Amino acid sequence: MTQAIALEPAPDTIAWRRVSGRLIVIEELQVLASTVVVVAANLAARLFVHNRVPLLVAGLAAAIGLVSAVVVLRSVRTWRYAERDDDLLVRHGLFLRKLSIVPYARMQFVDVTAGPLERAFGLATVTMHTAAAASDARVPGLRAAEAARLRDRLSSLGDTRSEGL
Amino acid sequence: MNAAPTTNATTADTARTADVSTTSADVSTTSATVAAPSTAVAATAGDAPITEIAVAPVEPRHRLHPLTPLLRGVHVLAIVIGIFSWQGYQQLGPLRWALGSAGVLVVASVLAAVSWYTTGYQVHGRELRISEGLLWRRTRAIPLERLQTVDVVRPLLARLTGVAELRLEVIGSYRAEAPLAYLSLPVASRLREHLLSLAGGRDGATAGPPAERIVHRVRNGRVLLAQLLTPHTWFVPLGLVVAVLPYRSQQGWNLVAVGSLLTAVLGVVQVPLRRIVDDWHFHIREDEAGLRLYHGLLSTRSQTVPRPRIQAIGVTWPLMWRPLGWLQARMDVAGYGAYDREAGKHASLLLPVADLRTAHPVLGAVLGAELLAPPLVPAPRRARWLAPLRYRLLAVGHDRELVYARDGWLVRRLVIAPLARAQSVRVVQGPIQRLLGLADVHVDTAGRLHVVGEHRDVDEAYALAATLASVARAARAREMGAHHRSASAATP
């Protein structure tokens, strides 16, 4: 019972695709930015508060930042998605592992979003919305061309297979 | 109107003469009513089936029942009295209070009369148009393709005056769209049939009164006893003590004091009492359009639930009912959340109380669900580390159409969902579950009830997810096939 096999409902028939490696850079930058802000704020507070609390908080924030950097590095690499004939498969997660099987027939609309950081790296997030919020399949870190391709494919499949609710 | 099929002209004419006595008071008084008989009348009262209904000609504009302004006025008055109740009476004295109430009634009735005069509804092609407003005119067009259910609601006053309210529920809208209040009862039920037939398309061919069959009837004594065995009812004595205590030292009982005391007591017993009153005469009937629930002692509700819209059914065995083996069944219908605010959680109630043996055929009729021996597979024993109290009950299973999940400790629950309507299948595994080799399987629905198979063996969970996805695909395909077949059969 190896995890690799267990994570795949039908190992030989699924062609898993990975997301772009540049997603790691984006997520690491986000971790770095939030850590820097907290550490800087606490170092600034040190000028006014004359005890060790700000330094402790800053140190803690730096430690958390370091741990999250390692976690993000590993967790981003767990993103996988696969387009089967009838459904989209998305899996993700390091500690909390998730696998979603969302039929194209259940798709209501497709969103492509790209934040400023994602745009700078030429990436986008594709979200396939269904009638149940928990079912929404989100695939981040797709290159712009791949995101457009996935969006077009999903919407064309959704059109032909849609059955409403 | 000249699009009306000529073959049905005679039918429509006879229908009109037969119905003119009841409808003339309800429809607009303009000459259009007499000149152009509505196909609604012809479609339901006529003896010849109208297959050309799909062309759906423009029908004349109708007004609501002329009693509407008065009923609305009384409604407003009741609210005003409710707000200013006893304090207002105390301060103003009987005469001025009565005058003020009469004034409110007159003003409200005049406003309601203006709104009645300007409000009209009309079936226009495949749309129901409702226009209203004097200064700001507003016309709402409700596409009948999106029509989900049509409920006939009869509050107490409406029952006394022989009128009814029609509520339309439309897919994708979060509240009851455009309640038509009030219509005379025959007009309301005819319009309901007509709208449903236009919405359903193929059902338009059925003529005459729909053949209804009683699926289930809940005994009133059981409703009463079941309600007595709820925590709500058990807290009533305590609530009564709290409500009555302030009046113990009351000196000189007058109308005001008695009124306030009654209000306080009523407030306490209201919840259980309302449940009993609402569930009284609960019975389920069935016709081609789907299931229909009837219930209520003072205000009767009839709700139509088209079976293809049921997303899930939740069966619960409340703790205090368990010695009697009683259960309650709720259904989750897509887009039916709107009524929840108005009528409590009642809109979704399928069975207020039943035992396994009587509930089984009902659930069979609704979903084809197997309640006596659901195909459940219990969770592995090691699930007890994560769910020490519930692990014995945790179970999940499926057949060709439905997925079942059981859960609970004090209150047992069984959720049943048709796989054809599942939105997605997910497997989620937390860190502790990974250590134990367990995972959760979720089947998400478009409603609020989700089927969750907690703490399954991890290999089984992934296999189950894959199986459920393919079974759901097959179920969807069958449903689509059935839909196409019946659609093509209806249009030869």
Q: Identify whether residues A93 and A148 lie together within a single domain.
A: yes
Please answer yes or no on whether A101 and B334 come within 8 Å at the CB atom: no
Residue A126, domain member (yes or no)? yes
pTM: 0.70
Which of B175, B209, B243 corresponds to the end of one domain? B209
Q: Residue A88 and residue B93: Cα distance in Å, rounded?
A: 72
Residue A11, domain member (yes or no)? no
Cβ contact B314:B341 at 8 Å: no
Which of B209, B241, B273 corresponds to the end of one domain? B209
Residue A102, domain member (yes or no)? yes
The per-residue pLDDT for B234 is 85
Please answer yes or no on whether A163 and B171 come within 8 Å at the CB atom: no
**Helical H runs in chain A?**
3-6, 22-46, 53-76, 116-120, 144-161
Sign (positive or negative) of CA dihedral B127, B131, B137, B138: negative
pLDDT exceeding 90 applies to what percent of chain B?
20
- Give the rounded distance of the alpha carbon of B182 from its chain centre: 18
Please answer yes or no on whether A101 and B479 come within 8 Å at the CB atom: no
- Longest CA–CA span in chain B (Å) reads 81
Half-sphere exposure of B120 toward its Cβ, with a 13 Å CA cutoff?
16
Q: Residue B243 and residue B267: Cα distance in Å, rounded?
A: 9
Q: What is the ipTM of this complex?
A: 0.84
| Tens-digit pLDDT profile for residues B213-253 | 788 888 889 989 998 888 888 888 888 888 777 777 766 66
**pLDDT at B342 > cutoff 90:** no
Residues in chain B: 492
Task: Name the domain count of chain B.
Answer: 2
Higher pLDDT: B335 or B112? It is: B112
Q: Identify whether residues B317 and B437 lie together within a single domain.
A: yes
| Tens-digit pLDDT profile for residues B315-327 | 999 999 989 999 9
Q: Identify whether residues B11 and B145 lie together within a single domain.
A: yes
Q: Identify whether residues A157 and A89 lie together within a single domain.
A: yes
Highest mean pLDDT among A119-133, B47-61, B130-144, B275-289: A119-133
Q: Which of A99, A108, A129 to mutate to test the interface with B (most CBs of B within 10 A)?
A: A99
Q: Identify whether residues B334 and B473 lie together within a single domain.
A: yes
Looking up residue A131, the CATH number of its domain turns out to be 2.30.29
Structural domain of B142: 6-64+119-209
**pLDDT at B415 > cutoff 90:** yes
Q: Identify whether residues A55 and A124 lie together within a single domain.
A: no
Residue A12, domain member (yes or no)? no
Lowest mean pLDDT among A105-109, B183-187, B299-303: B299-303
The per-residue pLDDT for B242 is 82
Structural domain of A147: 81-161
Window 168-197 of B: residues touching A by CB (8 A cutoff) are 171
Higher pLDDT: B79 or B414? It is: B414
Q: Which of A100, A104, A107, A109 to mutate to test the interface with B (most CBs of B within 10 A)?
A: A100
Q: Which residue of B has its CA nearest to A88?
A: B424
Q: Considering only the beta carbons, identify the residue of A86, A96, A130 that sits closest to B424.
A: A130
Q: Residue B250 and residue A26: Cα distance in Å, rounded?
A: 73
Q: Identify whether residues A94 and A142 lie together within a single domain.
A: yes
Which of A75, A94, A119 corresponds to the end of one domain? A75
Q: Considering only the beta carbons, identify the residue of B311, B423, B469 that sits closest to A130.
A: B423
Q: Considering only the beta carbons, identify the residue of A6, A100, A131 that sits closest to B462.
A: A6
Residue A36, domain member (yes or no)? yes
pLDDT exceeding 70 applies to what percent of chain B?
74
Confidence of residue B471 (pLDDT cuts 50, 70, 90): very high
Please answer yes or no on whether A86 and B473 come within 8 Å at the CB atom: yes
Q: What is the mean pLDDT of residues B479-486?
A: 70
Cβ contact B268:B243 at 8 Å: yes
Residue B87, domain member (yes or no)? no
Nearest in space to B317 (alpha carbons), one of B280, B368, B355, B345: B355
Please measure the distance between the N-terminal and C-terminal CA atoms of chain A and give it in whole angstroms.
37
Task: Name the domain count of chain A.
Answer: 2
Which of A52, A75, A98 corresponds to the end of one domain? A75
